[in-house]
Amino acid sequence: MTDKLLNALLVTGTDTEVGKTVLTTALAAYWQKYHSSRSLGIMKLMQSGEGDAPEGSHPRGDREWYQKLFSLDQSPEELTPLYFQAPLAPPIAAAKENKTIDLAKVWQTFTALRQRRDFLLVEALGGLGSPVTNELTVADLAGEWHLPTVLVVPVKLGAIAQAVANVALARQLRVNLKGIILNCVQPRTNEEIADWTPIELIQSLTYIPVLGCLPYVENLTDLEKMAQVASNLDLERLLPFAKV
């Protein structure tokens, strides 16, 4: 069993629909292909509505997406401890349903899975600045829970500013940010990737390494392809037992 301080990774992003589920899926596919003898857990902190599971796939919810793709031996509650019907920020969705956001339940699920698994992938909700409660954001939880974190930045116009702003928030709240992953949410040319998300400029502005770029993948249920995509990232900064 690996060091429990290193066996979890929070996958967050600059916003919703930027590719957190895509990266989580790619990392999980890589892990199950090359480290099948070591146990994997996947957890979404909380889900509002159908979540941001990739378009063109069914079912749409993140919980259902991971259940469909991976054999995890986890209950639905372990995959997503808190669930709200409305596709809104959790404090707003919870208020509409006359519910409270029980972070103790989320923490207990997280710590229990972390103890039982060699590696735990934790997908955040929304962006790093998204509210979890009326007082806390995803960045607050990442900092307070000492979670190693990776930031997904979509390849599009404005990506540089989004990366800079999110890294500043992470730094302010003492998030252990391991790196940035660029993600092509739509097909992009090499020229678009270089112009919209220039790696050297992003690194010089943020002082955070860019660990790779996920290409656009049409069929995200192709786990062989997703494992191959993940293998092109700088995994040594993200995963224990990274290289095979």
HEC sequence for the chain: CCCCCCCEEEEEECCCCCCHHHHHHHHHHHHHHHCCCCCEEEEECEEECCCCCCCCCCCCCHHHHHHHHCCCCCCHHHHCCEEECCCCCHHHHHHHCCCCCCHHHHHHHHHHHHHHCCEEEEECCCCCCCECCCCCEHHHHHHHCCCEEEEEEECCCCHHHHHHHHHHHHHHCCCEEEEEEEECCCCCCHHHHHHHCCHHHHHHHHCCCEEEEECCCCCCCCHHHHHHHHHCCCHHHCCCCCCC
The single residue of 20, 44, 99, 178 carrying the catalytic annotation is: 44
Q: How many CB atoms lie within 10 A of CB 176?
A: 14
44 catalytic residue (yes or no): yes
Instruction: Give the whole-angstrom CA distance, residue 143 versus residue 224.
Output: 33
> Which residue numbers are catalytic?
44
